[in-house]
Amino acid sequence: MAITLKEVEHVALLARLYLSEEEKQAYTQQLNSILEYMQKLNELDTAAVEPTAHVLPLKNVLRDDEVRPGLPREKALAGAPEAQDGQFKVPRVV
Amino acid sequence: MEYEAVIGLEVHAELKTGSKAFCNCTTAFGGEPNTHVCPICLGLPGVLPKINRKVVEFGLKAALALNCQVASFCKFDRKNYYYPDLPKNYQISQYDLPLARHGFLEIEVNGEKKKIGIARVHMEEDAGKLIHVDGSGGGYTLVDYNRAGVPLLEIVSEPDLRSPAEARAYMEQLKAVLEYTEVSDCKMQEGSLRCDANVSVRPLGSREFGTKTEVKNMNSFRALQRALEYEIERQIAILESGGRVVQETRGWDESRGVTVSMRSKEEAHDYRYFPEPDLVPLVIDQEWIEKVRRELPELPNSRRERLIRDYGLPPYDAGVITSSKALADYFDRAVALFPDAKQVSNWLMGDFLRLLNASGLEPDASPVKPEGLAELLKLQQEGTISIKIAKQVFEEMFATGKGARQIVEEKGLVQISDAGELAAIVEKVLAEHPQVVADYRGGKDKALGFLVGQVMKATRGKANPALVNQLLKERL
């Protein structure tokens, strides 16, 4: 069950978190203790319980297919660290 | 050794709703970059998506038309990945509880019918468009989110396809179904219908699957077929030389006609799906399903059968005509006005499709409407113009949008069916070609064709061919 240092590094990479060696050690320990605590839930017999898809007792919340104006482009780009030609400019990804 | 290909297709079709899947931005194609965006599809903090009812309805329609079992309970999930084509770092998709499963589509290749299984149909959102720019320091990427959040239907086939021709037939049939149900525009050039293929090969007779590759970037039926042909050859060559196929994603390079290994996204396949907490589940009851089922239009296969049964069209003709809903609608309207179905189908499959394809138009955008085609065919049938002239007039109609009768009158193309007028021309032709006349009389039947041709030439195609034949024979 234990989480390894390697898994912490993997998850950190997926989440684009850059962790120091100390942080990696600390999170490995913390994640393990959280999982250990969650182990308690496994003591319950849930064979007859449907998995919970959502915590709210709601279903089929739908809206009509209506077009409404969105944001003006200047506003859409206002929060972007960099923009060019009306587009978001990001570091090259491939 | 003989090999067999195993192919499964994953198709993405943009649904033609007015607004996006989870917000009210327009789904219109094109538009200046980042002008069809709002806080929801830009993934700004604190916003909540809300499901477009039409996305579910279109999904249901397609699922039923593909003979699927619709889930009574389904939900959306987050597919997590870091890539700037979606601003949220996840795509709203469906994972373990998709909208529908276990369907099939019937295809026909070389006269043989085959059922291709459909594993699942699910709803998700499309991603934005990236433009990669070279430059110092590694260059940069520009992002346009107009397409982000446009609803998609993902349709995954079982690995039931055994050849590139079957894959193409499946794709064409699927496109027809999505067009008939009017849930997608299916414009492959605009990317509203896209297709990835999983391909492997194995020794013929083997039950196990070989190692597969995923082929992407096939933007036309032709590209799909060519890419699969190439990829199958490539894999067989590797196996024949004792090598092993590497599981990877390969992109089809249309200009070079090869598939190329794509550098895979770093740890891309660890998507850590989890239920989308911002959307509540969908419960689809039998009543809803039956309502959608009742509204289903006639589907390509049954329409094809109908054309064969009601009009006596050859199966091939019926297949071509019904491959596109617009073309089948065109056919129905033309036949209502000119009841010789085979004639109409010949024209549609010949000059009509040739000119349409050359000008990149869809049948419903043709400058020649069904009424116009019917008028032209009537002129030909009643003998006012010859078949040759009819073809010429059709080109003119297509180019100018003018009516058949108008063109025939303006250009003086009315067929010469007056025996007296033709007789003079026939005499002249006979006098000019004594050697041919002698040949014919000497038993060379083919010589008659030449003489007919000369009369047609002299009348610029306007002579009634049957009458010319008759007149020539009388004089020979």
- Mean per-residue pLDDT, B239-255: 92
- Mean per-residue pLDDT, A70-75: 95
Q: Which of A53, A63, A87 sits opposite B53 (nearest CB)?
A: A63
CA distance B170 to B134: 38
Q: What is the Cα gyration radius of chain A?
A: 22
- Mean per-residue pLDDT, A34-52: 87
Q: What is the pLDDT of residues B433-450, one digit of tens each?
A: 888 888 888 888 788 888
Q: What is the pLDDT of residues B306-359, one digit of tens each?
A: 999 999 999 889 999 998 888 999 999 999 999 999 989 999 998 999 998 888
Q: Is B99 exposed, middle or buried (0-12, 13-18, 19+ CB in 10 A)?
A: buried
Whether residue B387 is predicted with pLDDT greater than 90 in this model: the reply is no
Name the minimum distance, in Å, from the CA of A44 to any CA of chain B: 22
pLDDT at residue number B393: 84
Residues B165, B166, B172, B176, Cα dihedral to 10°: 150
Are the Cβ atoms of A87 and B133 closer than 8 angstroms? no
Q: Which of B19, B33, B139 sits opposite A87 (nearest CB)?
A: B33
* Per-domain boundaries in chain B: 10-194+265-291, 298-410, 419-475
- Mean per-residue pLDDT, B1-20: 96
Whether residue A42 is predicted with pLDDT greater than 80 in this model: the reply is yes
For residue A15, is it within any domain?
A: yes
pLDDT at residue number B363: 87
For residue A78, is it within any domain?
A: no
Check CB contact of A81 with chain B, cutoff 8 Å: no
pLDDT at residue number B80: 92
Q: What is the pLDDT of residues B406-428, one digit of tens each?
A: 887 777 777 777 777 788 888 88
Residues of chain B neighbouring A93 (CB-CB closer than 8 A): 83-84, 130, 132, 141
Nearest CA in chain B to A50: B73
Q: Residue B264 has which token pair?
A: 């895979």
- Mean per-residue pLDDT, B444-457: 83
Residue A17, domain CATH? 1.10.20.60
From residue B233, alpha-carbon distances to A47, B164, B195, B213, B239 in Å are 49, 11, 20, 13, 10
| Domain count across chain A | 1
Are the Cβ atoms of A73 and B34 closer than 8 angstroms? yes
Name the minimum distance, in Å, from the CA of B180 to any CA of chain A: 21
* Best mutation target, B19, B52, B54, B280, to test chain A (most A CBs within 10 A): B280
2-21 of A, contacting B, C-beta below 8 A? 10, 13-14, 16
Residues of chain A neighbouring B251 (CB-CB closer than 8 A): none
- Mean per-residue pLDDT, B104-130: 94
For residue A3, is it within any domain?
A: yes
For residue A37, is it within any domain?
A: yes
Q: What is the pLDDT of residues B31-84, one digit of tens each?
A: 999 999 999 999 999 999 999 999 999 999 999 999 999 999 999 999 998 889
For residue A7, is it within any domain?
A: yes
Q: Which of B33, B34, B51 sits opposite A61 (nearest CB)?
A: B51
Percent of chain B with pLDDT over 90: 61
Beta B77-80 vs B274-275: how paired, if at all?
Answer: antiparallel
**What confidence tier does A1 reach under pLDDT thresholds 50, 70, 90?**
low
CA distance A40 to A30: 16
Whether residue B382 is predicted with pLDDT greater than 60 in this model: the reply is yes
Name the minimum distance, in Å, from the CA of B43 to any CA of chain A: 11
pLDDT at residue number B50: 96
Residues of chain A neighbouring B270 (CB-CB closer than 8 A): 10, 14
Are the Cβ atoms of A67 and B52 closer than 8 angstroms? no
The architecture of the domain spanning B419-475 is Orthogonal Bundle (1.10)
Are the Cβ atoms of B53 and A84 closer than 8 angstroms? no
CA distance B135 to B332: 56
**Structural domain range at position A12:** 1-43
Apex CA A23: angle with CA A21 and CA A26, to 5°? 115
Q: What is the pLDDT of residues B138-157, one digit of tens each?
A: 789 999 999 999 999 999 99
pLDDT at residue number A27: 95
Name the minimum distance, in Å, from the CA of A88 to any CA of chain B: 5
Q: Which of B24, B52, B75 sits opposite A68 (nearest CB)?
A: B24
- Mean per-residue pLDDT, B264-282: 80
**What confidence tier does B266 reach under pLDDT thresholds 50, 70, 90?**
very low
Find which of A88-92, B121-125, B298-302, B386-390 is predicted with most confidence, using mean pLDDT.
B121-125
Instruction: Please check whether residue B209 is in contact with residue B6, taking contact to mean a CB–CB distance below 8 angstroms.
Output: yes
Whether residue B462 is predicted with pLDDT greater than 80 in this model: the reply is no
Percent of chain A with pLDDT over 70: 98
- Mean per-residue pLDDT, B277-295: 95
Instruction: Please check whether residue B9 is in contact with residue B117, taking contact to mean a CB–CB distance below 8 angstroms.
Output: no
Are the Cβ atoms of B142 and A73 closer than 8 angstroms? no
DSSP state of B19: B
Whether residue A94 is predicted with pLDDT greater than 80 in this model: the reply is no
27-46 of A, contacting B, C-beta below 8 A? none
CA distance B177 to B116: 14
Q: What is the mean pLDDT of chain B?
A: 90
pLDDT at residue number B404: 80
Are the Cβ atoms of B132 and A85 closer than 8 angstroms? no
Name the minimum distance, in Å, from the CA of B132 to any CA of chain A: 7
